Structure 1
Amino acid sequence: MKAITLQTYGGPEVVHVRHDVPTPQVTAGHVLIKVACAGINFMDVHTRQGKYAHSATYPVRLPCTLGMEGAGVVVEVGAGVSHLAVGDRVAWCIAWGAYAEYASVPADKVAQIPNAIAFDQAAAAMFQGCTAHYLIEDVARLQAGSTCLVHAASGSIGQLLVQMARHIGATVLATGSSAQKCAIARERGAHQAWVYDDGRFADRVLEATAGQGVDVVFDSLGKSTLRDSFRACRQRGLIVNYGNVSGSLTDLDPIELGEAGSLFLTRPRLADHMADGPTVQRRANAVFAAMLEGALVVDTQEHYTLDAVQQVHARIEARQQIGKAVVRLDRDLH
């Protein structure tokens, strides 16, 4: 079958399409999926760069097939799997192998998708949608009347956080790297949005909250924003650092959290909040239902063929950002 396998870590030059990869054998607890679409994510870049080479949370090792999010049709069911059947339309994330015509996926990572959700929508929504869902529902526990700050609010996860938080009834403040990106955040529902301005966004947040700060900050950037995120948060508030796009803050002394107002800081990962099949399906159901109701817009900006993935990785490397994009592997499934 056709697939993108990694034999070594490195830059976009290590991404190559192979046409001689054996179709995976379905094993106990797994299902074999004919892949219709695969999502393109920063985690694919991090996998290629070797950032998960020693990770216990995401134990992907070389050689591997790239791609950790996809959607398609179940074509074979392994022993011990009773909740999925051949012909089911499904989607999954944080299980590698999506950049291929077929993928063997642990059944407890797979969610059934409604007929009204197209494969490209499902592939685009699964990882980011479930991430936004657990961050808001499980980590931040936002409620009507809560206040939050969403960094990188024009990004794929940022847009979903803004929409979900606004739908709950929270006051949503946002940041972006440009006026255009701030405008996108406002279009998605942010009450106010500002550029980072070398950390002066925190001053804007304090002005907007009468000096109190927000209840929760969702920070996916890390090094460039984290300390100013502390300033933007209220006493005993919560900082959710769920990404490190700008790099890791390696010199943080916990006493800084006390000085900033006895803050809580967490660095969660999706895998720990998708620990079993019922949880995966519950989160997917919430995301797909919101999409069908029109309360959640997942903007699939770009579609690529498998042969174009190296080019896409080179573009991500240059810009350090990507809109939500998918690889289409089988149009006949639509």
Structure 2
Amino acid sequence: MARTVIIEATGGPEVLTLVDRPVGDPGAGEVRIAHRACGLNFIDVYQRSGLYPMALPAALGMEASGVVEAVGHGVTHVKPGDRVAYAAQPPGAYAEARVMPAAQVCPLPDGISFDEGAAMMLKGMTVQYLFRRTTPLKRGDTVLFHAAAGGVGLIACQWARAEGITLIATAGSDEKCRLALDHGASHAINYRTEDFAARVRDLTGGKGVDVVMDAVGKDTFDGSLNSLKPFGMFISFGNASGKVPPFDIGLLAAKGSLKITRQTLFTHIADPTTCQAMAQDLFAMVTSGAVKIRIDQRFPLERVADAHRALEARATTGQTILTL
């Protein structure tokens, strides 16, 4: 048996319930993991609230770290006793232990702690695909990155600095702006006190940025389009403020033949070989010291509802994990 967080109905943090569930043995292509820590992400909120529908009852959580206890037939890249971490479907990481598909489970280097492993996989591989796989980026390019003091954002600030990319950060307070600057952002804009699109134009001499990376959604969409240079790329990868409403595609022509894409990590990691390669790239950035994983909030598993409340209130910085 393992303590596991489930929901039986969608709603607010109060629907999160901690129950004892049998774990069982792994079947072919599966692995059983005893977790050491679990990561917290906005996708968990979307699933809990019903924005991303799930069959109920459902377990939650998309990333964790731990030790392999058993493997099923055909699993060769990990073995019992290995330290591992993952970001993967199906949900179920908010648990002391679980059986899950092995394909996206990645060997965790000894130089990376279990807490760091749980905190970095979904957010770190998100940054990897944003900078390496979604649109060509080169040294000297300029990126506007929203919510830059959050878990994905602080990794992105460091990644941009390491790659020689100018990153203009937005955040919701002066303190969060300073945090983004401390982690490698070239500029930071408090979107609560400034018109970020106008400030971006000032910072770029009126040209706009090459790429916008936006996980906020509805609240920043119009300003993001207004921040791009002609032929610029808008990368949407989240909806923290709500879904972007339908819009006239002609706006993209009127604002300079802009490009737009809606990305999700799980498309990128669906191929196991690609997933392992992305994880290795992320691990190399962390073990080299170019990217440090900052964990600012830790909640015990039984306080998962409080963790969700903090995340939704935008009261968190860096990474948040659940401890076991």
Task: Give the TM-score normalised by structure 2.
Answer: 0.95
Distance 2:276 2:96 in 1: 24
- After superposing the two structures, state which structure 1 stretch, 251-260 or 140-149, moved more: 140-149
User: Percent identity between the aligned chains?
Assistant: 39
* Residue aligned with 1:183, SS: helix
Aligned to 1:322: 316
Matched residue pairs, number? 321
Describe the superposition over 1:224-281 as per-residue Cα deviations: whole angstroms up to 9, x where unpaired. Answer: 1111111111100101111111122213110001111000011111011102222222
* Residue aligned with 2:218, SS: coil
Corresponding residue to 1:65 among 47, 59, 62: 59
Corresponding residue to 1:124 among 119, 122, 132: 119
Q: What's the CA shift for 1:159?
A: 1.3
Distance 2:222 2:204 in 1: 18
Q: What's the CA shift for 1:321?
A: 5.0
* Residue aligned with 1:224, SS: helix
Q: Partner letter of residue 200 of structure 2?
A: V
Corresponding residue to 1:78 among 72, 77, 80: 72
Distance 2:41 2:246 in 1: 28
Aligned to 1:205: 200
* Residue aligned with 2:98, SS: strand
Distance 2:83 2:117 in 1: 10
- Asked if 1 retains the 8 angstrom alpha-carbon contact of 2:37 and 2:322, the reply is yes
* Residue aligned with 2:233, SS: strand
Aligned to 1:134: 129
Q: Partner letter of residue 59 of structure 2?
A: T
Give the 3 Å change call, closer, same or farther, for CA 171–320 of structure 1 in structure 2.
Answer: closer
Corresponding residue to 1:146 among 141, 144, 169: 141
Q: Partner letter of residue 61 of structure 2?
A: G
Distance 1:257 1:66 in 2: 37
Give the 3 Å change call, closer, same or farther, for CA 65–24 of structure 1 in structure 2.
Answer: farther
Q: Partner letter of residue 28 of structure 1?
A: A
- After superposing the two structures, state which structure 1 stretch, 123-132 or 219-228, moved more: 219-228
User: Which segments of 5 or more consecutive residues in structure 2 lack a partner in the other structure?
Assistant: none
Aligned to 1:92: 86
Q: What's the CA shift for 1:191?
A: 1.2
Describe the superposition over 1:17-40 as per-residue Cα deviations: whole angstroms up to 9, x where unpaired. Answer: 113x11143121111111111111
Whether 1:2 and 2:3 are equivalent positions in the alignment is: yes
Distance 2:185 2:298 in 1: 27
Q: What's the CA shift for 1:311?
A: 2.2
Distance 1:273 1:115 in 2: 25
Q: What's the CA shift for 1:182?
A: 1.1
* Residue aligned with 1:166, SS: helix
Q: What's the CA shift for 1:81?
A: 1.4
Whether 1:179 and 2:174 are equivalent positions in the alignment is: yes
Distance 1:197 1:310 in 2: 27
Q: How does 1:224-239 map to 2 (within 5 A)?
A: 224-239=219-234
Q: What's the CA shift for 1:320?
A: 4.0
Aligned to 1:56: none
Q: How does 1:1-334 map to 2 (within 5 A)?
A: 1-19=2-20, 21-53=21-53, 60-95=54-89, 96-197=91-192, 200-317=195-312, 319-323=313-317, 324-329=319-324
* Residue aligned with 1:301, SS: strand
Q: Partner letter of residue 119 of structure 2?
A: A
Q: Partner letter of residue 32 of structure 1?
A: R
- Asked if 1 retains the 8 angstrom alpha-carbon contact of 2:297 and 2:316, the reply is no
- Asked if 1 retains the 8 angstrom alpha-carbon contact of 2:36 and 2:67, the reply is yes
Distance 2:311 2:147 in 1: 16
Distance 2:285 2:185 in 1: 18
RMSD: 1.6
Q: What's the CA shift for 1:192?
A: 1.1
